[in-house]
Amino acid sequence: MTVADARRACSCSDFSRTDLFRRVAAQAGSGLPAIEPGMPTPAGTGLSRRSFLLRTAGVAVAVYGGGALSGRLLEDGIANAAVHGTGNGRVLVSVFLEGGIDSLNVLFPAFDGRYYDLRPQLALKQSDGTPFAEDPRLRWHPSAAALDTLHREGKVSVMPGIGYDHPDKSHFTSRHYWEVGATDAHVVTGWLGRFLDVTGSPDNPLQGLSLDNLLQPALATGRVPVASLDGPDRYAYVVPKLEAENDLLDALAELGRVNAKAKDPALRQAAAAAAQAHRLRSDLHAFDGGIKSPVAYPNASGNNADFPRRLQGLAAMLAQGLPLRAVALRAPGMFDTHSDQANELASDLKLAADSLLAFQRDLEARGLADRVLVHVWSEFGRRAKENGSLGTDHGAAGVGFLIGSRARGKMVGEFPGLQNLDEQGNLRPTSDFRGVYSALFEQWFDTDAAQVIPNASQFARPALLK
């Protein structure tokens, strides 16, 4: 795939992020058509055939055919991604540390005098945290103890200087680059979304799952459907005093189906959402009684509870055999620490790390750990020099992780160090996120990265798996 392929023709000016994402989103979810009128409908848009599901708990069985209202009455042609499996059965989970986490706090150069010069107020003490087993110059932030634990077990590959050349300091631009897998503001599908477009199925929204109230842009597809939900036990459509949920949802899906080929793009988008809601609900009946896990997850309150709860739900969905391939969610908190960094970062990082450890233990207990790899990323690192508000401004290279029983457990690129900052005082990258993406496709998914990442051949592939 070339950059030109990844772009879609668009006549309008592209400078506003809102504009840009408007188009990204127009592509997301179900091969949803772009907003501009006159654009061709991507292949696979909408439901080209009747697709309904038998509501056998936990086993999603798609039934294809024509006919009247209730899809559950249709019984010919069984195709079931949950039974036949998807791809090689492996799952990639993308976890976003939003705001640009300060890599110099997560793994800090405890014995470098420059660190204490640059960070007179924010530097951690030499005795804080624990040593990083692969590089004696570095220590883990105390809140990252759970990552240290997994690292010592050989289940974490640390990317201590991940980024790209000519780094962009805008949250939205840099995040967009990471989400689309290219340093190109005009690519409108996500890096995981394009993977699903190449290898996915036209009628399995769960193949790309955003565990969020909104679709994570990395999953934006051009052709196949993907799903978004808050948690597998939180997807009911029950309304008191109305007819049974199943009957209402069947009618809703039908309203979606008959509008799936409407001329108007917004109508088609609404129609696709209705049809996918029906399908997704059918897949999740097994969780109506709640989620039971073999391990405990961290306790958290308010919005912070979302992350451990969603990981817990994800492990349960995988154990249920649901046909997931790429999953995306946000870690708790906001790492855009322009001020009061020490407190904010410590609590958010701890909850994120502890939750990821619990998730790994959950997968191990359920015998799923060899099938799942977690990719943790942030849009950039932060300025080496603190800013005087007890915080740090936007930087360049940052830190990322690959976590899982199959992760190689060795650093990808080395710590760039403080002696050779770029002209703006930021860390220089020692690995490129597009190389990591390409390696993930090839080594984890057995898929040619050139089909998915623009100019994939230009990026070195680190060895990521054991």
Partner 1 sequence: MAAPVFKGKFTAAAAERLLWRAGFGPRPGEAAALAKLGLRRAVRVLTRPGPEQLVGPAPVDDRGFPIAPFDATGHDHLWWLDRMVRTTAPLVERMTLNWHDWFATSLRGVGSQRLMLQQNELFRKYALGSFADLLHDVTVDGAMLHWLNGDKNAKNAPNENYARELMELFTLGADRAGGYTETDVREQARALTGWRSTRVQGTREYTFEYVPNRHDAGLKTVFGKSGDFAWQDSVRLCLQHPNHPSFFVTKLWSYFVPAAPPAATQSALEAIYRNGYQVRPVVEAILMHPLLYTGPRMVKPPTVYAAGMLRRLGRGIDTRAWVNLGLAAGQRLFLPPNVAGWNESRWLDTATFRGRWYLAATALGKAPASPPPNATAEQLVSRALGFWGRPPLGRASRDVLTRFAKHSLARGRSRGEVEASLRQLIATAPELQTA
Which range touches partner 1 (CB under 8 A), out of 31-39, 154-162, 192-200, 352-360? 31-39
Residue 146 touching partner 1 (CB under 8 A): no
- Residue among 248 and 295 whose Cβ is closer to partner 1: 248
Nearer to partner 1, 21 or 64 (CB): 21
Whose Cβ is closer to partner 1: residue 187's or residue 403's? 187
In three-state secondary structure terms, 434 is: helix
Which CB atom, from 160 or from 391, has the smaller least distance to partner 1? 391
Cβ–Cβ < 8 Å for 182, 454: yes
Quick one: which of 61, 133, 295, 334 contacts partner 1 (CB under 8 A)? 334
**Least distance in Å: CB of 217 to partner 1?**
8
**Least spacing, CB of residue 454 vs partner 1, in Å:** 17
For partner 1, the binding residues in 81-120 under the rule CB under 8 A are: 98
Pick between residue 145 and residue 390 the one whose CB is nearest to partner 1: 390
| Cβ neighbours, 10 Å, residue 16 | 10
**Beta strands 107-109 and 372-377, pairing class:** unpaired
Q: Which stretch binds partner 1 (CB under 8 A): 107-115, 129-137, 272-280, 288-296?
A: 272-280
Q: Min. distance of Cβ 263 from partner 1 in angstroms?
A: 9
230 near partner 1, judged by CB under 8 A = yes
Among 8, 29, 363, 411, indicate the residue that binds partner 1 (CB under 8 A). 29
Cα–Cα distances in angstroms (integers) from residue 45 to residues 41, 65, 268, 269, 355, in the given order: 7, 18, 9, 10, 37
Q: Tell me the sheet residues that pair with 234.
A: none
- Inter-CA distances, 449 with 89, 182, 366, 446, 461, Å: 18, 13, 30, 9, 10
Site membership for partner 1, residue 79 (CB under 8 A)? no
Residue nearer to partner 1 on the CB measure, 331 or 403: 331
Taking CB under 8 A as the criterion, which residues in 335-374 touch partner 1?
338-339
**Residue 69 CB, nearest distance to partner 1 (Å)?**
5
Q: Which of 47, 92, 227, 351 binds partner 1 (CB under 8 A)?
A: 227
Sheet containing 50-54: give its strands across: 50-54, 61-65, 78-79
Using DSSP, how many helices (H) and how many strands (E) does the chain show?
13, 14
CA-closest candidate to residue 100, choices 174, 164, 46, 156 = 174
What residues contact 249, with CB distance under 8 A and at least 6 apart? 237, 277, 278, 281, 282
Please list every residue from 49 through 78 that binds partner 1, using CB under 8 A. Answer: 68-70
Closest Cα to residue 344, out of 174, 72, 143, 197? 143
Give, for 311, the enclosing helix (H) or strand (E): helix 306-319
Cα angle 451, 219, 460; round to 5:
45
**Interacting residue with partner 1 among 149, 170, 246, 347 (CB under 8 A):** 170
Residue 43 makes contact with partner 1 by CB under 8 A: no
Task: Determine the size of the site formed for partner 1 (CB under 8 A).
Answer: 80
Task: Decide whether 281 or 434 has the Cβ nearer to partner 1.
Answer: 281
Give the residue with the Cβ less far from partner 1, 19 or 442.
19
| CB 70 to partner 1: min, Å | 7
Distance CA 393, CA 391 (A): 7
Part in contact with partner 1 (CB under 8 A); list of ranges 140-148, 195-203, 224-232, 304-312: 224-232
- Cβ–Cβ under 8 Å, residues 188 and 24: yes
247 counts as binding partner 1 under rule CB under 8 A: yes
Query: Cα 270–272–274 angle (5° rounding)?
Result: 70
What values do phi and psi take at 441, rounded to 5? -60, -45
Rounded distance, CA 116 to CA 177, Å?
32
Assess 3 for contact with partner 1 (CB under 8 A).
no
Nearer to partner 1 by Cβ, of 166 and 292: the residue is 166
Between 96 and 445, name the residue whose CB sits nearer to partner 1. 96
| Binder among 9, 13, 289, 457 for partner 1 (CB under 8 A) | 13
- Which is closer to partner 1, CB of 142 or CB of 265? 265
d(CA 84, CA 428): 45
For residue 192, count CB atoms less than 10 angstroms from its CB and return exposed for 0-12, middle for 13-18, buried for 19 or more.
Answer: buried
Residues 383-412 contacting partner 1, CB under 8 A? 387-389, 391, 393-394
